[in-house]
Amino acid sequence: MARPRSEDKRNAILEAATEVVAEQGVSAPTARIAKRAAVAEGTLFTYFENKDALLNQLYLDLKADLRGAMMNSYPSAERVPVRTRHVWEKYVDWGVAYPLKRKALNQLGVSDRISAQSREAGMLAFAQVTALMQESLAGGVLKDQPPAFVGAIMSSLAETTMDFITREPAMAERYKNAGFEAFWAAIAAR
Amino acid sequence: MARPRSEDKRNAILEAATEVVAEQGVSAPTARIAKRAAVAEGTLFTYFENKDALLNQLYLDLKADLRGAMMNSYPSAERVPVRTRHVWEKYVDWGVAYPLKRKALNQLGVSDRISAQSREAGMLAFAQVTALMQESLAGGVLKDQPPAFVGAIMSSLAETTMDFITREPAMAERYKNAGFEAFWAAIAAR
Amino acid sequence: MARPRSEDKRNAILEAATEVVAEQGVSAPTARIAKRAAVAEGTLFTYFENKDALLNQLYLDLKADLRGAMMNSYPSAERVPVRTRHVWEKYVDWGVAYPLKRKALNQLGVSDRISAQSREAGMLAFAQVTALMQESLAGGVLKDQPPAFVGAIMSSLAETTMDFITREPAMAERYKNAGFEAFWAAIAAR
Amino acid sequence: MARPRSEDKRNAILEAATEVVAEQGVSAPTARIAKRAAVAEGTLFTYFENKDALLNQLYLDLKADLRGAMMNSYPSAERVPVRTRHVWEKYVDWGVAYPLKRKALNQLGVSDRISAQSREAGMLAFAQVTALMQESLAGGVLKDQPPAFVGAIMSSLAETTMDFITREPAMAERYKNAGFEAFWAAIAAR
DNA sequence: AATGAATGAGAATTCATTCAT
DNA sequence: AATGAATGAATTCTCATTCAT
């Protein structure tokens, strides 16, 4: 009967947190997040119990967002190399298109405020992605390593690729291709 | 602010900072660093103008330390694959041997308190390392990419490798080899 | 602010306030009182203009409640010692039967949020009680002191008695008697 | 070698706390206490770990202060009635001379921020006082009650006496005597 | 130079009260 | 009338830095 809790406001806070955490890291003041979201300082705490809850939720949301991007229009019917490339491209495109999301996600990833539980939940979102890569490994150098290792390698190569694209946007396509080639060479049979 | 006397004390502060930053990130209180170094809170500021100066110095020191490890007993006379493998092994060994240094360096790397200048200086330390890799690339997929890109790829793959070794120390050798194989496959001619 | 409808709700708030103030003192949040009363946070303010108004009303209500207990089935026809004992017993019984009311009343009594006016009104409720005691004093040590003094003495001895009964409920009767004997000895002629 | 912690400053904080707690209760802001003590807000926390620590220390100090007053120039050689009267007078005089200390002590006494441990320590300070009264009880109405009960009765009667003296200072001597007479009548043999 | 007490500007929350629904 | 989201001032405590000793 009272004013309902606004999904918009909640999103505004999460978006503001994305920007502010990207800029200042997890030690960014909640007051600044609230201000950026155009809500009162106290309002933040009606949507999130405390700062840690907000940070963990943001981490989960960003992970889910990234996963959504990678799985969007996923070409299930195609062969492994095509599918792998699709995932790679979507990953890199996401990071390039949303540099603040990427930066925030990285800040959160190294922070000790993200709980083990959140990390696990975040990883789960990628299980599917990494699973598919196993198929590529048959004759590759990583054929005996765990899927998570391959997934982590993709992640780290994609991050490196994005770093360079960010610094030299004009070279985006070149880096994106080169990065994938390196990744594919690293995991595929020869 | 006056000329500090003891090199020992300065080193104690830097070592303490390594530990504390590894544990708590860059927002760790200077008081805690001072305590761990067994000096007074104020003493820290006679050796470093302010917290940022300490953090940036630590970043540079750790980068130099890592570089030193990689270049130690560098087999200049050997052929490229051997030299590359040497660098890879030393890198990974360093991270595994000094997990706090590694953690601290990563915390500093994502912090916005490290100046662009420090970052540049840090990279310089690696220029030599990456330069040598160019030789490997002749026929590889990355033959047209800048040396720094290849260096960054080595870095990120080594970090990923260390992450997995940290989680499964018993598998250290396996991951170290697998990581290198992947790296080599990624950059070398075929 | 408009005329509230439900007497039940008002009572629920006062009862909830009794419990919560007993437990946490006058600084207990209004939100907690509202929750305990099973009404919305805002509803509290349609029944009481603000927190102070609620607190003062509660103080008055509890004083009146206590007075009602003491005067219930008051043996007007009996002689002074009997009537005095009746008052004493009802007082102590009330405090033992309703420890939360007693605790809340004490918390309110020492709070600076209870206005002088409320305190005066609260005392008035006891005037009748203390008046009757004057008759006992003829030859006693307090024969020249104001009635309020004797009333206050009864109050303080009763409180002390209740404290001990609360701590050792098995000794309730003994303390109740001993307390009364002490009180009677203090005020009566010998 | 650095500026030593100042006993004066510590005392200033405790005295300021006495005044402020007397006026506003235990919910008085630490900032106000600091201001009254003429120190910075943060300084308070170099002398007391947190607000509770300050409050508990103040409670203990005030209890000790009161005990000191009662035991000052205690006439050990005199007979029980004289010694009892001495304690009574010193108690009442203390409360009348230091109304803020008395008020603060009462506020602290009803607060749930005072730990059970502090309360116990506070009571210990009074054990000696109450012990001596036992001798008076031989033939009195309270001869079978625990010493603490008698001590509590003295306390409550003294408090009541002080209340009335505070309201009518001109009647101080009269109330002081009357209060003692009542107390003595309550506990002594007849 | 070394010490650590002193400082006061934040930081994360809390909470009485208002107000849109 | 009832609800509970929204507000922002107030609160406790932290911390980089200064400065008296």
Chains in contact with B, where contact requires at least 3 CB pairs less than 8 Å apart: A
Quick count: other Cβ atoms within 10 Å of Cβ B77? 7
- Quick count: other Cβ atoms within 10 Å of Cβ B18? 25
Q: Helices D80-97 and D51-71 sit at what angle, rounded to 10 degrees?
A: 140
Question: Which residue in chain A is spatially nearest to B185 when comparing CA positions?
Answer: A186
Instruction: Say what the pLDDT of residue C190 is.
Output: 66
Measured from the CB, is C31 under 7 Å from any atom of strand E? Answer: yes
B157 interaction partners in chain A (CB closer than 8 Å): 153, 156-157, 186
Contact A155 B160 (CB under 8 A): yes
* pLDDT of C28 above 80: yes
Report yes or no on whether pTM surpasses 0.85. yes
Percent of chain D residues past pLDDT 70, beyond the cut: 98
CA distance C159 to C144: 24
Q: Say how many C-beta atoms besides its own lie within 10 A of residue A127's C-beta.
A: 12
Q: How far is the CA of C155 from the C1' of E14 (A)?
A: 37
Distance from CA of C39 to the nearest CA of D (A): 26
Residue D118 lies in a domain: yes
Q: What is the mean pLDDT of residues C49-73?
A: 96
The answer as to whether A1 is a domain residue is no
Q: Do the domain assignments include residue C2?
A: no
B2: pLDDT strictly greater than 60:
no
Question: What percentage of chain B reaches a pLDDT higher than 70?
Answer: 97
Q: Which pLDDT belongs to residue B3? A: 57
A2 CA → E19 C1’, Å: 10
**A68 C-beta neighbours (distance < 10 Å), count:** 12
Contact between chains at D157 and C157 (C-beta distance less than 8 A): yes
pLDDT score for C3? 55
Burial class, B148, CB count within 10 angstroms (exposed 0-12 / middle 13-18 / buried 19+):
middle
B40 and B84 Cβ atoms separated by less than 8 Å: no
Residues sharing a CB contact under 8 Å with residue D18, sequence separation 6 or more, in sequence order: D58, D62, D100, D101, D104
> Quick check: D149 and C178 CB within 8 A?
yes
Q: Is the pLDDT of residue B36 over 80?
A: yes
| Pairs of CB atoms within 8 A across A/B | 89
Q: Tell if the CB–CB gap between C25 and D112 is shorter than 8 Å.
A: yes
Q: How far is D144 from chain C (nearest CA, A)?
A: 9
Is residue D35 domain-resident? yes
Note the pLDDT of residue C1: 44
Average pLDDT of the residues in C93-112: 95
Estimate the crossing angle of helix A99-110 against helix A51-71, to 10 degrees.
Answer: 130
Closest CB to A157: pick one of B26, B153, B185.
Answer: B153
The domain that holds A90 is classified in CATH as 1.10.357.10
Angle value at C-alpha D183, between C175 and C130, nearest 5 degrees: 75
Q: What are the residue ranges in chain A where pLDDT is below 50?
A: none
- As ranges, strand E nucleotides with an atom below 7 A of a protein CB are 1-21
Residues D157, B18: Cα–Cα separation, whole Å: 64
Q: What is the pLDDT of residue B79?
A: 87
Of A149, A156, A174, the CB nearest to B159: A156
Nearest residue (CA) to C1' of F20: D3
The number of folded domains in chain D is 1
Residue nearest to nucleotide F4 (CA to C1'): A2
- Examine residue D83 and state whether it is found in any structural domain, yes or no: yes
Phi, psi angle pair for C145, to nearest 5°: -95, 155
Closest-CA distance, A1 to chain B, in angstroms, reads 44
SS3 for chain B, per residue?
CCCCCCHHHHHHHHHHHHHHHHHHCCCCCHHHHHHHCCCCCCCHHHHCCCHHHHHHHHHHHHHHHHHHHHHCCCCCCCCHHHHHHHHHHHHHHHHHHCHHHHHHHHHHHHCCCCCHHHHHHHHHHHHHHHHHHHHHHCCCCCCCCCHHHHHHHHHHHHHHHHHHHHHCHHHHHHHHHHHHHHHHHHHCCC
- Spatial distance from the CA of C114 to the C1' of F7 (Å): 27
Does an interface of 3+ CB pairs under 8 Å exist between A and B?
yes
| B186·A182 Cβ contact <8 A | yes
Residue A172 domain flag: yes
Residue D73: give the domain boundaries.
7-187
* Residue D71 counted as domain residue: yes
Q: Which amino acid is located at C137 in the chain?
A: L
Phi, psi at residue D26, to the nearest 5°?
-70, -10
Instruction: Suggest the residue from C144, C157, C171 to mutate for an interface test with chain D (most D CBs closer than 10 A).
Output: C157
CA dihedral of residues C166, C169, C175, C176 (deg, nearest 10): 80
Confidence of residue D190 (pLDDT cuts 50, 70, 90): low
CA–C1' nearest nucleotide, residue C46: F1
Residue of B nearest to A164 (CA): B149
Q: Which residue has the tokens 């990456």?
A: B130
With a cut of 60, say whether residue B114 has pLDDT above it.
yes
CA–CA dist B157, B176 (Å, integer)? 10
Smallest Cα distance from A46 to chain B, Å: 27
Q: For residue A59, is it within any domain?
A: yes
